[in-house]
A and B are shown apart, each in its own frame.
Chain A
């Protein structure tokens, strides 16, 4: 079963706009990770945030984590057409397993 649920399921924006994706999960965690998947390819790790962190940045990516609400958000600023992909959150539910959410399909139009 899936640990996380992403919202929205799909998002379409213009280049230059910001894209925000949300993830909710069910159990306590050690860390939460975000991955990207281009069509027909494997997943690629973007960023990891630990349960004792509230915000993390990496380039145009900003991730927040609210453990009291069991939720996280991924913000991509100044989006580009090349950001078009599916984005997944993943949590470890305090075990060695990494369980993925349902994903958000992002389409960035030039």
Chain B
């Protein structure tokens, strides 16, 4: 299996622009997680899905952030409009049967810089 695939790997954009990050989870995994990593706040869980349904989005910073999972093999995280404080590395991770059954498999991340 190719693992969790994220795109783009790097994105530089200007404040106010829309940003869309994409994730393809490992086939057969029931759970998909979006995390954000910064030096100041560490790894934060933004939202996660089970069987394509959002379960908990309490970590989403504000209404500018939205996430969708239209099918089992694709998810997007959108920021509109983007702000400099959104600069971070965004990770997607997937797992089978949820956290208690085993590990998360992470993508390589999307490094976002908002100028």
Contacts and interface: CB of A to CB of B under 8 A. Distances in A.
Given A30-B99, A42-B109, A96 B55 contact: yes
Interface stretch (A16-24, A56-64, A99-107): A99-107
Contact of A98 (B4, B42, B99, B107): B99
B43 A88 contact: yes
Interface string A79-110: 00000000010101001111111110000000
B75 to A, nearest CB: 15
Interface of B is mostly: strand
Interface in B41-94: 42-45, 48, 50, 55-56, 91, 93
Nearest to B42: A102
Nearest to A44: B106
A45 B103 contact: yes
- Chain A: number of interface residues, binned into ranges: 20 to 34
A43 B45 CA distance: 14
Contacts of B33: 98
- Chain B: number of interface residues, binned into ranges: 20 to 34
A77 interface: no
A54 B44 CA distance: 28
Contacts of A45: 103-105
Contact of B45 (A42, A48, A98, A103): A98
Contacts of B109: 41-42
B102 A96 contact: no
Contacts of A88: 43
A97 B45 contact: yes
Given A96-B55, A99-B45, A100-B42, A31 B104 contact: no
Interface of A: 2, 30-31, 33, 35, 41-45, 48, 88, 90, 92, 95-103
8 contacts: A2-B42, A30-B99, A41-B109, A44-B106, A92-B99, A98-B45, A99-B45, A101-B42
